[in-house]
Amino acid sequence: MDTAARRRAETLKAWALECGFDRAGVARVERAAHGEAFLRWLDEGRQAGMGYLERRVEHRLDAESLVPGARSVLCVAMRYLVPQDETAGGDLWPRVARYARGDDYHRLMGGRLDALCRRIEGTFPGTVTRPYVDTGPVLEREWAARAGLGAIGKNTNLLHPADGSWLLLGEVFLGLDLAPDPPVADLCGSCRACLDACPTGALVAPYLLDSRLCISYWTIEHRGAVPPEVRPLVGDWVFGCDVCQEVCPINAAPETATEPALGLPEARRSIGLVELLEMCRGEYEERFRKSPMKRARRSGLRRNAAIAMGNRRQPRYVPALARVLRSSDDGEVRAHAAWALGRIGGERARAALLEASAREADPAVRAEIAAALG
């Protein structure tokens, strides 16, 4: 690669850091090295209900078909681990994936990548630029690894020697020849802490995740009722799961984020499981404005709150679950409230279930109540 390509690469990486990103690296536009593995993963159904991963597959495997004229990929990363009081948020926040505690990173990083693209286009007129932040058919972790931002870990996350896996990723595909960065060597070695700690066994083998078992899939992506056999495995996670990251030795002392928008805002700091379960639509829209947790939708978050209550099995949740079972207009939420009451047990829970059984008209909810009483 010539001297000019190296200078351009260093310039663009410096600009990325000036835009507020913590890491930047460059990869050549080439066909995906792990494309066959991705196709096998899809054929085996490990994407669960995420049908969007099956669309535009060729674009995921061949970046030139996605962005005609692209020659290089400028990959960026932003740290999102924000030091904060772990007791903040009472019952809810300790069991929300850390990336989702602050404002939506798609908007934050997308705006910065747009500004970076404008600077590139202004300096190199006619250059093709196309930014992505988890919003297109892009194998982001593969590109980041090829750009030297880390190595893929056995938990399938990107691992950086200093930042661990607490990184948000973005890319700019562009029509410039840039000198690529060297890859990072494997960081996992013989360690299998993440595989052993996964509550559901979703890490079925090193570097292989089965979404059908993943807590993050069930609490974020899945729509509708969570199967009864899955609910106990979800534990008290309300949105996402960080277990495989929390046990990773590379994450023992990572660099932390400095971006205030990624921290837990006051509007959501006091939300607990009971409040989330009973939250009306207006309050939901107000409290979760700009939050990535809106991806699960209000019904999904309330469903997840009921599951978390059932798995905590604390009698103090019975009154709220009984109120929801009695008055909610969302059958899905009523069904999971019935299940939670059955898990908690006790005279008050049973009385609430018997009362609901006498008036419930929805067959699916009636079945949940019968199972809970049984």
- Residue 88 CA neighbour count, 13 Å, CB half: 16
Q: Cα–Cα distance between 128 and 106 in angstroms, integer? A: 21
Residue tagged 């993440």 (tokens): 194
Q: What is the pLDDT of residue 266?
A: 85
Q: What is the pLDDT of residue 267?
A: 84
Q: What is the pLDDT of residue 43?
A: 96
- Residue type at 218? W
Query: Which residues touch 300 (CB under 8 Å, ≥6 apart)?
Result: 219, 220, 222, 223
Q: What is the pLDDT of residue 255?
A: 87
Q: Cα–Cα distance between 39 and 322 in angstroms, integer? A: 46
In the structure encoding, which two tokens stand for residue 4, read together? Answer: 């000019």
In the structure encoding, which two tokens stand for residue 221, read together? Answer: 């992506």
Q: What is the pLDDT of residue 86?
A: 55
Q: Cα–Cα distance between 145 and 77 in angstroms, integer? A: 11
Q: Cα–Cα distance between 159 and 162 in angstroms, integer? A: 9
- Residue 11 CA neighbour count, 13 Å, CB half: 13
Q: What is the pLDDT of residue 268?
A: 87
Crossing angle for the helix pair 331-344 and 347-359, to the nearest 10 degrees: 150
- Residue type at 272? G
Q: Cα–Cα distance between 25 and 75 in angstroms, integer? A: 5
Q: What is the pLDDT of residue 90?
A: 57
Q: What is the pLDDT of residue 1?
A: 62
Q: What is the pLDDT of residue 253?
A: 87
Q: What is the pLDDT of residue 207?
A: 97
- Residue type at 132? Y
In the structure encoding, which two tokens stand for residue 80, read together? Answer: 């999102």
Distances (CA, A) of 346 to 327, 340, 357: 21, 12, 17
Q: What is the pLDDT of residue 85?
A: 55
Q: What is the pLDDT of residue 258?
A: 86
Contact criterion met (CB below 8 Å) for 216 and 126: no
Q: Cα–Cα distance between 338 and 370 in angstroms, integer? A: 9
Which of 321, 282, 319 is closest to 303 using CA atoms? 321
Contact criterion met (CB below 8 Å) for 203 and 209: yes
Q: What is the pLDDT of residue 89?
A: 52
Contact criterion met (CB below 8 Å) for 240 and 215: yes
> Could you give the angle at the alpha carbon of 154 between the alpha carbons of 195 and 211, nearest 5°?
70
Q: Where are the alpha helices (DSSP H) in 224-362?
A: 231-234, 243-246, 266-269, 273-277, 281-287, 297-312, 318-327, 331-344, 347-359
Residues serving a catalytic function are: 134
DSSP, collapsed to helix, strand or coil, labels residue 363 as helix
Continuous segment of H or E residues that includes residue 2:
none
Q: Could you list the mean pLDDT of each consecutive 10-residue stretch along the chain, which spans 374 residues?
A: 92 98 97 92 96 92 92 97 64 79 94 98 96 93 97 97 96 97 96 97 97 97 96 96 96 89 87 94 95 96 97 97 97 98 98 97 97 96
